[in-house]
Chain A
Amino acid sequence: MKTNSKIPPGALAEKWTQYRGTMNLVAPNNKRRIDIIVVGTGLAGASAAATLGELGYNVKAFTFHDSPRRAHSIAAQGGINAAKNYQNDGDSVYRLFYDTIKGGDYRSREANVHRLAEVSVNIIDQAVAQGVPFAREYGGLLENRSFGGVQVSRTFYARGQTGQQLLLGAYQALARQIATGSVQMYNRHEMLDVVLVDGKARGIIARNLLTGELERHSAHCVVLATGGYGNVFYLSTNAMMCNVTAAWRTVRRGALMANPCFTQIHPTCIPVSGDYQSKLTLMSESLRNDGRVWVPKKLEDAKAIREGRKTALDIAEEDRDYYLERRYPAFGNLVPRDVASRAAKIVCDEGFGVNQSGLAVYMDFTSAIERYGKSEAHLKGLHDPDAATIRELGEKVIEAKYGNLFEMYEKITGQNPYKYPMMIYPAIHYTMGGIWVDYNLETNIPGLFALGECNFSDHGANRLGASALMQGLADGYFVIPYTIGQFLSGEIRTPKIDPTTAAFAEAEQNVRDRIEQLLSIKGNQSVESFHRRLGHIMWDYCGMSRSADGLQKARQMIRELREEFYKDLFVPGDNDEYNPELEKALRVADFLEMGELMIVDAFNRNESCGGHFREEYQTEDGEALRNDEEYTYVAAWEWQDLAKDPVLHKEELVFENVELKTRSYK
C-alpha cells in the first residue's frame, strides 16, 4: 500500500491536538546531530528552515534565486485567511475547514484541512510578532476583507502586497538563523536530483548556477518546498523561473504525483496581448469585492467593441449582462475561482468577448465608486453632492484600497481603469495537485517531505483565494516542525550521511549525463520555442475545459514534441558557467514529461470537479458534474519509464464529518 495517509484516530477536531501530544520527539542533544535539507525558500521553505533551525537542527537551505527573498510567494497580492473571527461575523475553525473542503469540491482530506484551519490563527499571531504590517482599522486592530467562495470576512492583508510582507517575515526569520549558523544558506543552487540510500531520502545533487559545478549534499532527510508547476502552460501568472524540476526528479525516483490535473485558472488576469508575451499578470481577487463583471448583452455591441467602434462607456446599463450576478445570485461576483473562470470562458465562446481577440470580459468599478462616494460625502456632511464630487470621493476610496493594482493595470495596458472598466480573462495561476504526502507531509519515500504548493494535500480540486499563503506557512511554521520528528526520532543513531557513496555518485552522474545530452543536441530551435509550443498544447487541451478526444490527441502531440526537443534543441554556452538557457532547458525537459502525466490524470478522471472540467460531464445548465461514486479518491501516479503508462494508486477519501453535496453558489 503506497498511499497510507496515516491519519491519526479520534474526533476530527481532536486529531491534531492528540497526535501532537503523543508523537515522537527528538531531544535537543540529538537535534544538534541531525542534518536536514530544505529545498526552496518561499513561504513554506523559509518558514520551515527558520523554524527547524530555531529548534536546533542543522539545516541546509537551497534556492535557485539570488536571494531567498525573491521566491514567487512574494507575488501573492490579496491576503491570507485565518479563522480568527475578529469581525464577529460567525467565523470559526470549523467554518474555515468546511469552506475549504467545499471550495475544493470534496477532493481533499478532511484531517489535513481541519489541521490547516486550526493553525491558521497561529500564523497571524506569528506574522504580527515578526513585524508584518497588516492593514489596521482606526482603533489599531487588524482589518479583514472577504474573498471568493466564502460569506465571512477572514482575510488579513497588507495592501496588495500580502505575499511580499509575509515572505519578508519568513525571510527575516530565516536570515536570523543564517546569522546564528543553524541554517546554512545556498543561494543560486538548483536541485537536480534526490539521492536515495537504502530507500530513504538522504541528499540532493545541486547545480551551482554561477559555476555549473555539481555538488553533493547529504542529510538525514530532505524537505521539498519547491512550489507549483503552473509554468507547464508557458503563459501563467507564475514567475518565470517557477518550475517542476525538483519535484519531478523525486517522482522519477519513485515519489507519487497526486492529482496533477487539478490546476487553478484565476478569473481575473490581464488578457494576452501578443505572441511575444512571456507571462500573464494577475489582478487580485480582492478586486471582486468591489468590481462587477459584465459583457454586453447584444452580440452586435460586443462586435462593435472588438472592432473599436464602441467602448464600454457606450453600452447602456440595461444592455450589460452582469452574468455572475445573474447566474449566481447568492455569491454574485464572489463565486470561487473555477466557477468564475468557466463563466467567463462561456460568454467569450458565445461571442461576447470585449477585446480584439474576443477573449476578455469587463470588471467594472463604477457602482463601487458611486457607493463609496456617497458614503464619503455623507461622512463629510455634504448635502446633495453632484455626480462629479461623488465620483471624485469614490475614486479616492478605491485608490486607497486597490491603488497599486490599478496602477499596475495601467502600466501594463496603458488604459486608465478609473475611467474605463478593466479587461480581464482567466489564466493559469496555481496547481492544487502535487507530490503525494501523508498526514505527516511525508511522501511515499521515507525521509522525503513536501510542503506548500508542491504537495497536493489541502485544496482538493480548487483552492479558495487567500489560502495558498495560509497553507505554505501552516506547513512550514506549524506542521513540519512537529511531524518531521516522527521520522527523525528513528534516526538519532544514524551517523552523518556520507556523500561519497555509490548512490551519490550515481545521482551525480545521472545529472551530468542529462546536462551533456542537452548540450550535445546542437539543433536549431530554442528552449523558449519548445516551451511555448508545450504551453499551447496544455492550454488548448488540458486547460479550462478538457475532453477525452482532446486529451488523447494532446498526449500524442506532447510525445512528438518531446522527440523533436531531443533532436533539434539548441542550448548556447557551456555547463561550467552562468548559463540561464541551460537552466531553462533542464526545466522544460521535465515539463515535457509532467505535461503528459497531467493529461493522463485528466483523461482518467471521468467527472468534472473544481478546476478539472470535462466537457462530457456537465449538468444541463453547464455546471460541473461530479461523480462521487467512482472518483472520491486521490489519484497518485507512479511514473514508469517513458515507454510505459504511469501506474495509478488510489487513496480513497473518507468523509466522516462533511456531507458530499453538489456545490452550489446560486
Chain B
Amino acid sequence: MKLKLKIWRQKNKDAKGQFENYTIEANSHMSFLEMLDVLNEELIAKKEEPVAFEHDCREGICGTCSMVIDGQPHGPWEGTTTCQLHMRHYKDGDTIVVEPFRAKAFPVIKDLVVDRSAFDRIIEAGGFISVNTGQAQDANAIPIERDVALAAFDAATCIGCGACVAACPNASAMLFTSAKVSHLAMLPQGEVEAKQRVLNMVKQMDREGFGRCSNITACEAECPKGISIENIARMNREYLSASIGSDKSM
C-alpha cells in the first residue's frame, strides 16, 4: 500500500519545527515502527537526515515509544503502544499525521523525541516504599487479599510512557501520578508512608508544570495499559485525608 506521511520535523529543542511530507510503500504485516524504519533507510540512502523517534522493546512494555498518530497518542488502536500498532489498520492511499507528545513538561528534543524526565522526578519525590535491602521479612508474613493484590497490580502496570499527558488538553499528569500512589497505597507494605507519599508526589507534579485535572478522561481512553481514572479519585481522597490536619501539604 502507498501511504502519505506528514511528520513533525524539529532539529532541536530551540528550533522551530514544521511538518514534512513523505510517501512510502508499506505492507500490511509491518508494524508502524518498522514502516518508519523503512522510511529512514530510504532517507539515509538519499543522504538525508532520518526521522528521530524513540523506541526500544517493541513489544509494548518499556514505555519508550511515544508519538501522536492522527491526533491520538500511540495511534488508533485501543490498549496499544505505537510499537504494537500494525499497518493492517491502514489502507492504500491513507494519509497519516505523526507528531511528538506535546506538553510543556515534555520539551521536544528532536523530531518525535521528547524529554519525559519529569516523570522520574515525580517518582523520586515519593513513589517508593522505604525499605533498605535486607530489611524485609518473609514474603508470606503478610497475606494480601487476592482482589487487593490484583487491583494494586492493575495500577502498577503503568509503563510511564506519558500518553496520558499527551492526551490531556491540560497536559495533566494525574493518571500517571495516581497510578503509582494507588499501587503503593493499596498494599499493606505501602500504607505506612502513604500520606507523606501523596503529598510529596503531587507537589512535585505541580512543580514540573503539568496541568490540572478537569475530568475529561482522555487519559484513560488513550492509556495503552488501561489504567483507570479510579486511581485519580483514589489519589484525590488520599490527598485530602493526608492534607487535613497536616502542615506538610503547605
Contacts and interface: CB of A to CB of B under 8 A. Distances in A.
B86 A140 contact: no
A263 interface: no
Interface stretch (A118-126, A199-207, A286-294, A340-348): A118-126
A119 B49 CA distance: 49
Contacts of B52: 578, 580
Nearest to B29: A273
Contact of B140 (A65, A86, A526, A529): A86
B38 A478 contact: no
Interface in A142-188: 142, 158-159, 161, 163-165, 168, 171-173, 175-176, 178-179, 185, 187
Interface string A62-73: 000111111110
Nearest to B43: A572
A382 interface: no
Interface in A537-587: 570, 572-573, 577-578, 580-581
A258 interface: no
B187 A133 contact: yes
A137 B146 contact: yes
Interface string B20-39: 00000001011101100110
Contact of B145 (A133, A140, A163, A572): A140
Contact of B45 (A51, A141, A241, A526): A526
B56 A129 contact: no
A129 B156 contact: no
A133 to B, nearest CB: 4
Contacts of A577: 12, 110
A267 to B, nearest CB: 17
Nearest to B188: A131
Nearest to B81: A411
Contacts of B216: none
A205 to B, nearest CB: 22
Nearest to B79: A407
Interface stretch (B124-132, B165-173, B205-213): B124-132
Interface of B: 12, 27, 29-31, 33-34, 37-38, 41, 43-45, 47-50, 52, 54-64, 77, 79-80, 84, 86, 88, 109-110, 113, 115-117, 119-120, 123-125, 127-140, 143-146, 149-150, 152-153, 156-157, 159-160, 183-184, 187, 189-190
Interface of A: 47, 50-51, 54, 65-72, 74-75, 84, 86, 122, 124-131, 133-142, 158-159, 161, 163-165, 168, 171-173, 175-176, 178-179, 185, 187, 210, 239-241, 273-274, 276-279, 281-282, 407-408, 411-412, 414, 477-478, 481, 524, 526, 528-529, 570, 572-573, 577-578, 580-581
The 10 lowest CB-CB distance pairs between A and B, nearest first, are A140-B143, A129-B136, A172-B128, A133-B153, A125-B136, A128-B139, A51-B133, A239-B56, A179-B124, A239-B57
Counting chain A CB atoms within 10 Å of each CB, the highest count among B27, B48, B139 belongs to B139
A274 B131 CA distance: 47
A266 B137 CA distance: 35
Given A141-B140, A573-B49, A179 B152 contact: no
Given A130-B129, A526-B44, A572 B61 contact: no
A165 B80 contact: no
B190 A570 contact: no
B154 to A, nearest CB: 9
Given A66-B64, A572-B43, 17 more contacts: A47-B133, A65-B64, A66-B116, A72-B56, A128-B136, A136-B143, A138-B146, A159-B157, A164-B159, A172-B123, A172-B128, A176-B130, A277-B34, A279-B58, A282-B59, A408-B59, A572-B50
Contacts of B47: 570, 572
A50 B133 contact: yes
Contacts of B128: 130, 172-173, 175-176
A71 B38 CA distance: 25
B171 to A, nearest CB: 18
A532 to B, nearest CB: 10
Contacts of A412: 31, 84, 86
A178 B124 CA distance: 7
A404 to B, nearest CB: 9
A164 to B, nearest CB: 6
Contacts of B152: 131, 133
Given A128-B136, A133-B187, A572-B47, A411 B124 contact: no
B183 A133 contact: yes
Contact of B189 (A130, A141, A279, A572): A130
Contacts of A127: 139
16 contacts: A66-B117, A67-B120, A69-B120, A74-B61, A122-B136, A129-B189, A131-B152, A131-B184, A131-B190, A133-B149, A133-B156, A134-B139, A134-B149, A241-B56, A481-B133, A578-B52
A163 B57 CA distance: 13
B30 A274 contact: yes
B129 to A, nearest CB: 5
Given A67-B116, A175-B128, A142 B140 contact: yes
A229 B131 CA distance: 33
Contacts of B143: 136, 139-141
Contacts of B62: 70-72, 74-75, 239
Contact of A414 (B44, B88, B157): B88
A528 B38 CA distance: 10
A125 B132 CA distance: 12
A136 B48 CA distance: 53
B140 A179 contact: no
B131 A171 contact: no
Contacts, number: 209
Contacts of A526: 41, 44-45
A161 B154 CA distance: 11
Nearest to A133: B153
A67 B134 CA distance: 25
A237 to B, nearest CB: 8
A581 B117 contact: no
Contacts of B134: 122, 126, 478
Contact of A54 (B49, B58, B110, B132): B132
B37 A278 contact: yes
Contacts of A75: 57, 59, 61-62
B124 A131 contact: no
B133 A135 contact: no
B136 to A, nearest CB: 4
Given A126-B133, A128-B189, A175-B127, A408 B84 contact: yes
Contacts of B38: 276
Contacts of A178: 120, 124
Nearest to A571: B44
Question: In this complex, which of B29, B133, B140, B149 has the most chain A Cβ atoms within 10 angstroms of its Cβ?
Answer: B133
Given A124-B139, A175-B123, A572-B49, A130 B131 contact: yes
B230 to A, nearest CB: 16
Contacts of B77: 411
Nearest to B56: A239
A125 B115 CA distance: 35
A171 B123 contact: yes
Nearest to A160: B61
A358 B52 CA distance: 36
Given A173-B128, A408-B84, A572-B50, A69 B145 contact: no
B117 A158 contact: no
Contacts of A277: 34
Residue among A185, A478, A578, A581 with most chain B CB within 10 A: A578
A13 B156 CA distance: 37
Contacts of B109: 210, 578
